[in-house]
């Protein structure tokens, strides 16, 4: 699985003009299931996100996690994280997981964050969403579950 993690002071996702998820300080996580992701990829990636130390401590250093600050997480599915642009200007998405399994892994990821004690809001898998955020820092981190065993 791939995730683009953004430290935010607030974030919101809307579908058809209706807010379906909103958080204050915490993380906006855009997530994509990739073909061949093992069943445990969602839980492993969630653990990494929850422990990622990108919030400031008292000395102003990035040394605290979203768990440490009591923050929330907004999880939004985004299959375009699987984009392959190696052969031209039009991205290909064949490395993204098929929708049914992709949605299952996306939901597992959100649930794994909840099981770690984090308040979690979500987008709507496969919907045309509008995501608004105030990136704090800005801090944006790329994670890929394939990067770690």
Q: Which residues are catalytic?
A: 78-80
Measure the CA–CA gap between 28 and 135, rounded to whole angstroms.
9
Phi–psi pair at 34, nearest 5 degrees: -105, 150
Phi–psi pair at 39, nearest 5 degrees: -60, -30
CB 42 within 8 A of CB 109: yes
CB 74 within 8 A of CB 26: yes
Measure the CA–CA gap between 55 and 48, rounded to whole angstroms.
14
Task: Judge residue 1's burial from the number of C-beta atoms within 10 Å of its C-beta, 0-12 exposed, 13-18 middle, 19 or more buried.
Answer: buried
């Amino acid at each position: 699985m791939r995730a683009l993690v953004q430290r935010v002071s607030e974030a919101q996702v809307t579908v058809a003009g209706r807010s379906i998820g909103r958080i204050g300080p915490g993380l906006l996580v855009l997530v994509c299931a990739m073909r061949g992701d093992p069943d445990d990829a969602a839980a492993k990636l969630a653990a990494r996100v929850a422990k990622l130390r990108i919030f400031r401590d008292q000395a102003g250093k990035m040394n605290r996690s979203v768990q440490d600050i009591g923050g929330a997480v907004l999880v939004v599915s985004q299959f375009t994280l699987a984009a392959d642009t190696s052969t031209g200007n039009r991205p290909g998405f064949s490395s993204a997981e098929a929708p049914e399994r992709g949605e299952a892994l996306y939901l597992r990821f959100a649930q794994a964050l909840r099981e770690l004690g984090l308040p979690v809001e979500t987008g709507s898998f496969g919907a045309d969403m509008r995501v608004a955020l105030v990136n704090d820092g800005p801090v944006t981190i790329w994670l890929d579950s394939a990067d770690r065993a």
